[in-house]
Amino acid sequence: MKERTPLVAGNWKMLGDAASNTALLDRMRSAFDGGNFARIQALICPPFPYLALAADRLRSSPVVWGAQDVSDQAEGAFTGEVSANMLRDLGCTHAIVGHSERRGMHGETDTVVASKAHRLIAAGICPIICVGESLAQRQSHLTEAVLAHQIDAVVGVVKGGAAVIAYEPIWAIGSGRAATPEMAQAAHAFIRARLQAGGAPADQIRVIYGGSVGAASASALFVQPDIDGALVGGASRNADDFVAICESATQAKF
Ligand code: PGA
């Protein structure tokens, strides 16, 4: 039993439309209203245009909502960007930063990721900072070196403790091949030790796992001592699967 509240976050990526996202939010809301999820935190991260919809459908429910990205700038002439203060206006409690799809496809560096996390914390929003190695890096035994570099880049920003780290091995994302619980636990323990070494309150910072988490794989991951929840992509687009993963988190930690 641990003092950190498990977090199960759904990353909807660029999926859905007004009709399907409304239906999914409503199905999740009724499952959460009818269940006992007080011991975990459940979060949905829809695309930006549906944040107001999430706020409307989830208001006063146990489920919170957040964004998938944020600008590294405070405000100004940055066409297409969305600021942390705007996310706060929409009631976001969390935002994902440094997802591998943004690092890989949009050239986000560790420095940019750290700036985004800083903007969120300054706005009172909890960043979910994604880190993780590629398959080639794992096969070359570079996993710890990569994680060390990514954690060191943000450790100064997360010293206040109001942050989440998501360990997402790139080879596990969307592949249907989650890391084994032992593999994930080893990476999470390394991340926690690295946070501690950098002066961050590692006992308070939740380290969640992402990469092909499903209803079947969740419980074995959640019983690991350093796995404090999950960042769920594909399975978060199915209300039954997402709720089942949340139920596993409720049972695993208490
Ligand atoms: P997945 O995605 O669960 O579909 O592997 C996870 C993520 O990209 O955050």
CA-closest residue to ligand 1 atom 3: 233
CA of 140 to the centre of ligand 1 (A): 23
C-alpha distances (whole Å) from 99 to each of 42, 92, 137, 227 are: 19, 18, 17, 18
Within a domain: 29: yes
Q: What percent of the chain has pLDDT over 90?
A: 96
Inside any domain, residue 86: yes
In-domain check, residue 180:
yes
The protein residue whose alpha carbon is closest to atom 1 in ligand 1 is 233
pLDDT > 80? residue 44: yes
pLDDT digits 0-9 by tens, 13-39: 999 999 999 999 999 999 999 888 999
50: number of Cβ within 10 Å? 22
3: pLDDT confidence band, cut at 50, 70 and 90?
confident
Report CA(231)–ligand 1 centroid distance (Å). Answer: 7
Residue 213 Cα to chain centre, angstroms: 12
The whole-angstrom separation of Cα 52 and Cα 109 is 29
Nearest CA to ligand 1 atom 6: 233
Q: Ligand 1: which of 168, 170, 177, 209 to mutate, judged by most atoms within 8 Å of the beta carbon? A: 168
* Residue 2 falls inside a structural domain: no
Angle at 209 between CA 37 and CA 47, to 5 degrees: 75
Q: At what angle do helices 110-122 and 143-154 cross, to 10 degrees?
A: 40
- According to DSSP, the residues that pair with 164 across neighbouring strands are 128, 206
* 49 Cα distance to chain centroid: 19
Q: How far is CA 69 from CA 54, 72, 106, 118, 238, in A?
A: 16, 9, 12, 13, 22
- Asked if the structure places residue 112 within a domain, the reply is yes
What CATH number did the domain enclosing 111 receive? 3.20.20.70
φ, ψ for residue 76, nearest 5 deg: 130, -160
Output the pLDDT for position 1. 46
Does residue 1 lie within any of the structural domains?
A: no
Q: What is the pLDDT of residue 35?
A: 87
Q: Read out DSSP for 90-139?
A: TT-SEEEES-HHHHHHS---HHHHHHHHHHHHHTT-EEEEEE---HHHHH
Q: What pLDDT does 156 receive?
A: 97
CA of 77 to the centre of ligand 1 (A): 32
How far is 178 from 215, CA to CA, in rounded Å? 12
How many domains, the chain? 1
Q: What is the pLDDT of residues 139-160, one digit of tens each?
A: 999 999 999 999 999 999 999 9
178: left (phi over 0), alpha (psi -120 to 50) or beta: beta
Mutation probe of ligand 1 site: the residue of 7, 15, 171, 232 with most atoms within 8 A of C-beta: 232
Residue 203, in any domain of the structure = yes
The whole domain housing 80 covers: 7-251
- For residues 158 and 195, the answer to whether their CB atoms sit within 8 Å is yes
**Closest of 186, 210, 206 to residue 127, by C-alpha:** 206
| The pLDDT value given to residue 57 | 98
Give per-residue pLDDT as tens, 216-228: 999 999 999 999 9
Alpha-carbon separation of residue 243 from 176, 232, 246 (angstroms): 19, 11, 5
The residues lining ligand 1, judged by C-beta closer than 6 Å to any ligand atom, are 11, 168, 173-174, 210-213, 231-235
Could you tell me if residue 170 is inside a domain?
yes
